[in-house]
């Protein structure tokens, strides 16, 4: 069988950190290969090497049997290799056409040929069934639309290999299904796909082969048909994990958080419910149902239109996130890069940021205590890093998410809010995060979380509220909760008594 692309003996270090060690990977024409592994296993680094963003320290690449060296993404693109990044690379202040042809703009009489740009972009978008206006600003597009534009752009250069790095991490279930169908269509056209993902059901659905990395090395390879989830997990973490959730019944204490007729915005209806100490409550619903906006109103990011909020029995006017922190509320936000971490700061600085007491400008921070707190967090959450002084921007997406969670826990809140708590986090780290949440609940913390993954909601929640159109449509006990029951409520237009 002729290999389209082969990577052999690839190694890469960043300073003292060895990211890849003697890694090999191959793809044939029209083959879908999924790359799986824990956060920090080296998946994204390998993907960047294959498309010329990063150069390997050692190892070889061959394309159609011929050795190649990519020192720039343009060279990989010329070799018909494109990548769709986890953090999309479109310029929001430019139009779709300007992004589509960036660096390759057609000109006429020394000026941009806008008509030709429009025509080329329309043809490229139409290949994916998109009818977007090429003159529309990218800033006005949804995440799914932006991703489709990136894919169309790569295909416009006649890409024969497309690399997808965590492509569904920010997509709704419906948009994810659309993308997976597109990948199957591209495969049928003979395009090779390297699919990097933590979502094992997707990997099982679309892959011909699955390659696993662990600690920067190859840790397993298998043909996809009928491979079990347990086998994939063992390839990823090096040990068998039959239950990544580990839910155990526990006693619930006094009321910790209560909403009374809280209306988050004009698009929401007034909401009333309570969460008790030691209880983990999930909020399920489709994207756009208003779940994140409700958490933001509770945490003071936005001001509710009406209603009251009670913490540990006392009414609190949470007018800002600082007031929320001061009263024992903490939030793990949906967007870690925009709201959760300061990328240019160290892990230590991020973890201890929210727990620093107000001091005078002349006072000194207790750096020894900060280092101790950050090292404890790094150890308990298994954050893969060289030290607490490593810049957060140099961590993988999943490890950045762990830093956000660690920052919230450093403040010792009585109520923890989480919006998509394990987005972009590998299966082994998820189990550790779930274990930590259960431990916090055992200690009496009240936990309220939003997740788009029904399996996660069902796996860790003691109770589930289901939202649709800014309204809680119903409440399910753990015994009542199922994917069918949740989706029935999420798609209903009538409220069920809570």
Q: What is the CB-side half-sphere exposure of residue 408 using CA atoms within 13 A?
A: 31
Stated length of the chain: 498
As given in the structure block, the two tokens for residue 216 are 């920067």
Q: What percent of the chain has pLDDT over 90?
A: 44
Q: Which residues contact 351 (CB under 8 A, 6 or more apart)?
A: 373, 374, 377, 378, 388, 403, 406, 407, 410
DSSP code for 340: I
DSSP code for 424: T
Q: Mean pLDDT across the stretch 393-421?
A: 87
So what's the pLDDT on residue 283?
96
Lowest mean pLDDT among 21-35, 180-194, 405-419, 425-439: 425-439
What's the pLDDT tens digit per position in 276-327?
999 999 999 877 788 989 999 999 999 999 999 999 999 999 889 989 988 9
SS (H, E, C) 195-255: EECCCHHHHHHHCCEEEEEECCEEEEEEECCCCCHHHHHHHHHCCCCCCCCCCCCCCCCCE
What's the pLDDT tens digit per position in 64-74?
989 999 999 88
As given in the structure block, the two tokens for residue 493 are 């237009």
Q: Which residues contact 319 (CB under 8 A, 6 or more apart)?
A: 300, 303
Lowest mean pLDDT among 137-146, 184-193, 239-248: 239-248
Lowest mean pLDDT among 142-156, 231-245, 439-453: 231-245
Question: pLDDT category, 47, cuts 50, 70, 90?
Answer: very high
Which residues face 336 on adjacent strands? none
Region 255-328+413-490: CATH code: 3.40.50.300
So what's the pLDDT on residue 362?
41
So what's the pLDDT on residue 17?
77
Lowest mean pLDDT among 100-104, 221-225, 383-387, 492-496: 492-496
Residue spans in the chain of domains classed CATH 3.40.50.300 = 3-237, 255-328+413-490
Question: pLDDT category, 241, cuts 50, 70, 90?
Answer: low
What's the pLDDT tens digit per position in 406-416?
888 888 899 99
Greater model confidence, 432 or 284: 284
Query: Quick check: 496 pLDDT over 70?
Result: no
As given in the structure block, the two tokens for residue 320 are 């800002």
Greater model confidence, 396 or 376: 376
**Residue keyed to tokens 């780290």:** 429
So what's the pLDDT on residue 135?
92
Which residues face 53 on adjacent strands? none
What CATH topology corresponds to 3-237?
Rossmann fold (3.40.50)
Greater model confidence, 175 or 59: 59
Query: Quick check: 14 pLDDT over 50?
Result: yes
Long-range CB pairs of 98-103 (<8 Å, 24+ gap) are: 99/138, 99/149, 99/153, 100/124, 100/134, 100/149, 100/152, 100/153, 100/156, 103/74
**C-beta separation of 276 from 255 below 8 A:** yes
Q: What is the DSSP string of 435-468?
A: HHHHHHHHTT-EEEEE-S-HHHHHHH-SEEEEEE
Question: pLDDT category, 157, cuts 50, 70, 90?
Answer: confident
Query: Quick check: 265 pLDDT over 70?
Result: yes
Question: pLDDT category, 356, cuts 50, 70, 90?
Answer: low
Question: pLDDT category, 426, cuts 50, 70, 90?
Answer: confident
So what's the pLDDT on residue 225?
73
Q: Mean pLDDT across the stretch 220-228?
A: 84
| Residue-averaged pLDDT of the chain | 87
Lowest mean pLDDT among 90-99, 242-251, 408-417: 242-251
Q: What percent of the chain has pLDDT over 70?
A: 94
């Amino acid at each position: 069988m002729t290999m389209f692309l082969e990577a052999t003996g690839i190694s890469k270090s960043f300073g003292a950190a060895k990211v890849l060690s003697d890694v090999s990977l191959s793809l044939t024409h029209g083959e879908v290969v999924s790359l799986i592994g824990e956060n920090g296993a080296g998946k994204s680094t390998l993907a960047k090497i294959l498309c010329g963003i990063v150069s390997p320290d050692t190892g070889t690449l061959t394309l159609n049997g011929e050795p190649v060296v990519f020192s720039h993404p343009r060279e990989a693109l010329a070799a018909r290799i494109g990548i769709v990044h986890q953090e999309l690379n479109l310029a929001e202040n430019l139009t779709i056409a300007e992004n589509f042809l960036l660096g390759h703009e057609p000109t006429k009489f020394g000026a941009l040929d806008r008509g030709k740009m429009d025509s080329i972009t329309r043809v490229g978008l139409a290949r994916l069934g998109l009818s977007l206006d090429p003159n529309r600003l990218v800033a006005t597009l949804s995440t799914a639309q932006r991703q489709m534009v990136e894919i169309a752009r790569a295909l416009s250069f006649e890409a024969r290999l497309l690399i997808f790095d965590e492509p569904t991490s920010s997509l709704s279930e419906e948009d994810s299904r659309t993308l997976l169908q597109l990948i199957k269509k591209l495969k049928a056209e003979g395009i090779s796909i390297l699919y990097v993902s933590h979502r094992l059901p997707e990997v099982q659905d679309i892959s011909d082969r699955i390659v696993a990395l662990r600690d920067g090395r190859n840790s397993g390879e298998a043909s996809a048909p009928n491979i079990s989830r347990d086998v994939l997990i063992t390839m990823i973490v090096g040990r068998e994990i039959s239950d990544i959730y580990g839910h155990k019944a526990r006693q619930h204490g006094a009321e910790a958080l209560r909403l009374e007729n809280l209306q988050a915005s004009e698009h929401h209806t007034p909401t009333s419910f309570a969460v008790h100490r030691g209880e983990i409550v999930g909020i399920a619903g489709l994207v756009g149902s208003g779940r994140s906006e409700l958490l933001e109103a509770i945490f003071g990011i936005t001001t509710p239109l009406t209603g009251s909020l009670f913490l540990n029995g006392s009414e609190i006017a949470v007018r800002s996130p600082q007031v929320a922190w001061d009263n024992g509320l903490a939030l793990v936000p949906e967007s870690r890069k925009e709201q959760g971490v300061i990328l240019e700061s160290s892990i230590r600085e991020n973890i201890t940021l929210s727990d620093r007491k107000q001091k005078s400008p002349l006072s000194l921070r207790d750096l020894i205590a900060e280092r101790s707190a950050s090292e404890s967090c790094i150890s308990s959450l298994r954050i893969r890093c060289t030290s607490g002084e490593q810049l957060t921007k140099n961590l993988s997406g999943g490890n950045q998410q762990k830093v956000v969670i660690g920052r919230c826990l450093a403040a010792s809140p009585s109520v923890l809010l989480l919006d998509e708590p394990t987005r972009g986090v590998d299966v082994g780290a998820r189990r550790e995060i779930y274990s930590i949440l259960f431990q916090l609940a055992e200690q009496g913390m009240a936990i309220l979380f939003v997740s788009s993954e029904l399996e996660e909601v069902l796996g860790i929640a003691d109770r589930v509220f289901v939202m649709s159109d800014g309204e809680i449509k119903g409440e399910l006990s753990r015994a009542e909760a199922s994917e069918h029951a949740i989706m029935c409520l999420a798609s209903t237009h009538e409220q069920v008594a809570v």
